[in-house]
Amino acid sequence: MSNQLASNEKGSDESESSKKNMGLRPRNTERSYGWVAILLHWLDVLVIFSLFAVGWYMVELTYYDALYKPLPFIHQSVGILLAGWFVFRVAWRLANPSPEPEPGISAVQNLAAKVAHIGLYLMIAIVLLSGYLIPTAEGVAVSVFDIFSVPATITSLPTQADNAGWVHRYVAYALVGLASLHAAAALKHHFINRDNTLRRMLGRSDTSPDQ
Ligand code: HEM
């Protein structure tokens, strides 16, 4: 009897935990993000803010600084890896449904969120492309951690390095500004509206019907 009780309790624990772990499927559903989208999202956050901080710092260094060469090398290597990652991210986004917005969010807010998401994708693409066009302007390939190189392709745009540098700088600022607004909106949903918008990007929306 007590064995049966224990096994019933175990069964119900397992079903609770499997309900919660259903959020850990790889693909998105109409109601929740899969783990691939969640992983891609948080790695993007980490890498983009880190590249921004490193980029901002490295352009102030002088030739005699020990980090004058290593930091741009790391910035460019990680940037190129992010570009490959970004292509996969866009493909994954197109191949998966986007979870429906949480109930109670107005049409205007939903539209604003969609515009912000498209803006983020576009800005990431522009920052990556302009970044690539700076060191390759003179026909030099970009080395990725000395493991492989991405060759220069476009080299003849007018004052290419300067113009690409300008675009890279200001679109990177705009990207980090918009990403910060996007983060602030997610925190507002979590702490003020108290809905599942942020929780489901953390893989835990316990109240969502399919969790
Ligand atoms: C989302 C990814 C990236 C972000 C957020 C980012 C951010 C930045 C920032 C904030 C700066 C400083 C700009 C300034 O104040 O003048 C910078 C500089 C630079 N970045 Fe990036 N970057 C990214 C990707 C890349 C990539 C993929 C490359 C090249 C393969 C690259 C190459 C460079 C170079 C060469 C500079 C120095 C520009 C100069 O000396 O004027 N970046 N980056």
Structural domains in the chain, CATH included, are 2-200 (1.20.950.20)
203 lines ligand 1 (CB under 6 A): no
* Spatial separation of the C-alpha atoms in residues 159 and 11, rounded to whole Å: 68
Tell me the pLDDT tens digit for each residue of 74-116.
Answer: 999 999 999 999 999 999 999 999 999 888 888 998 999 999 9
Per-residue pLDDT at 205 = 66
Among 61, 68, 75, say which to mutate for ligand 1: greatest number of ligand atoms within 8 Å of CB.
Answer: 75
Is pLDDT above 80 for 39? yes
184 lines ligand 1 (CB under 6 A): no
Q: Are 35 and 22 in contact (CB under 8 A)?
A: no
- CA 122 → CA 30, 75, 115, 147, 185, distances in Å? 24, 20, 10, 28, 19
Q: What is the DSSP-derived secondary structure letter of residue 195? A: -
80 lines ligand 1 (CB under 6 A): yes
Instruction: Read off the tokens for 87.
Output: 């292509």
